[in-house]
Amino acid sequence: MARVWVLPSLLFVVGCATPPPLPASAPIERGTAAWGDCRKGEGLPMADGRVLRGDNGFAEYLPENDTSWVRRLQMIESATRKIRVQYFILEPDAYGKALLGALLVKQRAGVQVSLMVDAVGSPALSKPLLGKDYLEELASAGAEVHIFAPLFATLRPRLFGSNHDKLVIVDDCLVLTGGRNVGRRYFDAPSVDPKVYADADILVEGAKLASWANGAYRAEAELARNRRVRPEVANRKSRAPELLAAYATALATAKRHPAWRKDWRPRHAGLIRIFDGESRFHSPQIRDASFATEDLIRGAKRGVVISNPYVVLSADMLDAFRAAAKRGIPITLLTNSPLSTDSLPTQAVFQREWPSLLREIPTLRIFASKGPAKLHAKSMVIDDDVAVVGSYNLDSLSDRINSELFVAVESKPLAREISTHIKRQIRDNTVEYRLVEGRAVGAEQLDAAKEIRRIRWLEDAAQIFRDKL
C-alpha cells in the first residue's frame, strides 16, 4: 500500500476534458452476464497435496498500469447483476471519479452496487464536506456504500488497522485484486510519470473464487465500526454530472487502448485459491493470508521468487525463510531501496535488518530497485508452479493488523510469466545487497546520499514501532 502515516490534506482533483455523452442508462436484462457463462477451468491439484486445495478457474496477470485500468472498466461494463468494489485508497482524481461514475451508471441501470473505502486511506472521500458528496451520489442511486472504521466511530479511537484489500467482484464470477489502489499514481503509464507505482494485479474467473472474495468483502463490510453512507437529504449540488463526465472520458479513452478487446477474459487455466486475512477488529481474527504465505515458502522444493515493497519480517515469516534455506532452496527477493520507497519508516527498519537476513538465510539474494518508479507489487512464485498476487506485504501490518487478500494459482505458464517479469525488473533496474567478507554492501551503491541520511536519522525511532510497520 502507499503508506499513510499522517492523515493527508484533501487530495487535488484532476480535471478532465469535455467528454463525449454517455448513452442513457437502460435497465439490464437479468440472467447470464454479457460475456457469457462463468467458466470453470481444468487445472488439477499437485501430486504432493500442496496448501492450495483450491477450485479450478482462469487467471490473467496484469503488471502494466494502463492495462489494469482498462480491465477494471471492462469488468464493470460487463456486469448485469452485481458489483462489489473495495479499496484502501480511492483518490478523487480523474481515475477515482471515473470509477465512481461507472458504478453510478450501473446502479442506475439496475445492477446492485456495493462500495467500501477505508477512512485513513481515502480521507478525501470520507470527510463530511466535499469528498463525501461523491459517495452520497452513489447512495442516493441505491448503492450500498460504507466507510471502513472511521477514526472515532466508537469510544475506542482507531489507531491502527485498515481495510487494505483491493477488490472488484462482478456477477459472482470475476474477481480482480492485487496491489493497486485507485488513482493516478497506480494507473498512469511510466511514460507519463516515471515515479508512478510499479505494481501488479490479477484477474480470475470462477464462481467458487468469487464466493471466497465475497466472503472477504462481507467480513470487513459488516463490522460495527464502519459507517454506512446515506443519501444526502438536501443535495444542493449534485456531483453526478462530474462523475458521469469523468467516466465518459475514461471509457472513450479505454476503448481506444490495445488492451480493450473482445477476448479479454482470463486465459490461464489452473487450480486457484483466494486467501483472506482479516483486520485486527475481528475476534477471533482469521490470518489465512499470513499462514498460507509462510506455508508456501516453507514448503518450496526448487525456488522462491518474491517481489514485495515492504519487508519487515515477523518471527514466523523469518522461520519460514530459514526453513526453506536450511533445505538449500534459493530465495530471490526484489524490494525497494531508499530511492524507490514511499515508506521511510519501513525502509529504515529494512536498512538496519537486511545484513542480518543475509546471514540468517544463506540462500537469500536481495535486489533493491533503483527507482524512480516506486515498487508496489506483492507477487511471489514458488517452484515455477504456483503464482501468488495480492495485497499482502511482508510486514507486521499485513501479518496481524490490516485486512489482506491474495490469489494463489497453480499454473506453470502463469508462474513463468510472473517470474520472468520479476527477473526482468531485477536485471534492468536493481542493485544487489551483499555481504563482502562480512561487510554489508547495500544502498551506498546508489546515488542516494540524501535519502540514506534521512533514513539513518529515522532508524532508531522506527525500530521502536517495528511491530506496527
What one-character DSSP code corresponds to residue 445?
A: G
> At which residue does the C-alpha cell 486465459 appear?
267
Asked whether the beta carbons of 440 and 355 are under 8 A apart, the reply is yes
The residue-averaged pLDDT of 134-147 equals 96
Which of the four pLDDT bands, split at 50, 70 and 90, describes residue 134? very high
Question: Helix or strand or coil: residue 201?
Answer: strand
CATH assignment, 58-254: 3.30.870.10
What are the angstrom distances between the C-alpha of 10 and each of 13, 246, 408? 9, 19, 36
Q: Are strands 386-390 and 55-62 parallel, antiparallel or unpaired?
A: unpaired
- 90 DSSP 8-state letter: B
pLDDT by residue (tens digit) across 417-437? 999 999 999 999 999 999 999
Report pLDDT digits (tens) over 198-228. Answer: 999 999 999 999 999 999 999 999 998 899 9
Which residue intervals of the chain bear CATH 3.30.870.10? 58-254, 274-468
Contact between residue 232 and residue 140 where contact means Cβ atoms under 8 Å apart: yes
How much is the mean pLDDT over the chain?
87
Cα-based angle 394, 399, 402 (whole degrees, multiple of 5): 110
pLDDT band at residue 52 using 50, 70 and 90 as cut-offs: low
Fold of 274-468: Endonuclease; Chain A (3.30.870)
CA distance 14 to 24: 25
Does 247 have pLDDT greater than 90? yes
Judge whether 431 and 445 are in contact, CB under 8 Å: yes
- The string of pLDDT tens digits covering residues 8-43 is 222 222 333 333 344 344 443 333 344 457 876 544
pTM for the full model? Answer: 0.89
| Residue range 316-358, pLDDT digits in tens | 999 999 999 999 999 999 999 999 999 999 999 999 999 999 9
Looking at this protein, which amino acid is placed at residue 338?
P
Q: Using alpha carbons only, give the angle 86, 346, 94 rounded to the nearest 5 degrees.
A: 35
CA distance 276 to 463: 28
